[in-house]
Amino acid sequence: MLYGAMKVSIGGPLKLAFRPWVEGLENVPAEGAAILASNHLSFSDSFFLPAVLDRKVTFIAKAEYFTTPGVKGRLTAAFFKGVGQLPVDRSGARGAGEAAIRSGVEVLERGELFGIYPEGTRSPDGRLYRGKPGGLARVALATGAPVIPVAMIDTEKIQPPGKVVPKLMRPGIRIGKPLDFSRYQGMEHDRFVLRAVTDEVMYEIMKLSGQEYVDMYAAAAKRQIAEAAKAGKEAEKAEQKAAKAALAQAEKDKTDRADKDTSAS
């Protein structure tokens, strides 16, 4: 009931304001379990995709969204529950992964749609990064649910980092044909199978999105970008410090020469 109210109050205005275009809606089954595996460009991905579908889509979200105290915290928790997000404690990497898998299996066993971002986090630069094999592949093989590749397009341009007011433009959503991995069922603990399943899904997402593919994890790329930015700031500070020291030395030399000239005269 809350999801339906949120879909009307948020999804309707979202579609009206941004007019997202969609291709491949016919690939989402009218009923039954399925996994929607999408690239991840923006926080808004979890809103645009459900907005264009008739069926409820359940994603997972970090538990902090649901446990923050105070009025704001309760409103945030109600909002995320309303838009179909499930809390997952990410305090421990392994525990978080197991919790996400259990949540996905439970959603699919109810015959519903489960949404997941195989990259594990948002792309830091608009490129498509290597998919993590633990969540998507294990859920797919444990349930036998088909995996539907999804490409979000241009959602990162609507509200880039640091921008408060979103840009009114048309994002796109391409939905591919369902992928059947039943041939691997029962092999969800074989790391080579998990890698193969994940890579196949990422390849389909790449074809749909047209993104450049980077064979590394997005989280590692974010760390590299952050470290490069930090190194750049430190280098800039060092240059400024050196410039100040050089200026101070020049002033001192000028003063020393002036004093020497005064003494000589």
pLDDT > 60? residue 117: yes
* pLDDT in the model for residue 43: 84
Check whether residue 192 and residue 253 sit in a common domain: no
Say if CB 124 and CB 23 are below 8 A apart. no
Do 252 and 201 belong to one domain? no
Q: Tell me, yes or no, whether 229 and 120 share the same domain.
A: no
- CATH number (domain holding residue 63): 3.40.1130.10
Query: How many separate domains does the chain show?
Result: 2
11 & 106 share domain = yes
Same domain, yes or no: 14 and 108: yes
Q: What are phi and psi of 87, to 5 degrees?
A: -75, 140
21 and 95 belong to one structural domain: yes
Q: Are residues 222 and 211 in the same domain?
A: no
Is 181 found in the same domain as 64? Answer: yes
At 126 the pLDDT is: 95
Domain with 232, as residue range(s), is 217-265
Q: Which of 25-29, 39-43, 67-71, 137-141 has the lowest mean pLDDT?
A: 67-71
Asked if residues 155 and 42 have their Cβ atoms less than 8 Å apart, the reply is yes
Task: Examine the domain organization and report whether 19 and 148 are in the same domain.
Answer: yes
Residue written as token pair 């421990």: 92
> Residue 151: beta bridge partners?
174
**What average pLDDT does this structure show over 61-69?**
67
Per-residue model confidence as pLDDT tens digits over 224-235:
988 887 888 887
Q: What is the pLDDT of residue 35?
A: 97
In 10 A of CB 12, how many CB atoms?
Answer: 11
Looking at residue 229, what is its pLDDT? 78
Return the structure tokens found at 262. Answer: 């005064």
- Mean pLDDT value of segment 208-223: 94
Q: Are 20 and 101 found together in one domain?
A: yes
Whether 46 and 174 map to the same domain: the answer is yes
* Contact between residue 53 and residue 84 where contact means Cβ atoms under 8 Å apart: no
The answer on pLDDT for 57 being more than 80 is: yes
Query: By percentage, how much of the chain surpasses pLDDT 70?
Result: 83
**In angstroms, rounded to a whole number, what is the distance separating the alpha carbons of residues 264 and 161?**
63
Distance CA 68, CA 61 (A): 13
210 and 225 inside one domain: no
Q: Which two tokens stand for residue 114?
A: 């489960």
Q: Report the mean per-residue pLDDT for the chain.
A: 86
Residues near 128 by beta carbon (within 8 Å), at least 6 away in sequence: 39, 119, 202, 205, 206, 209, 211, 212, 213, 214
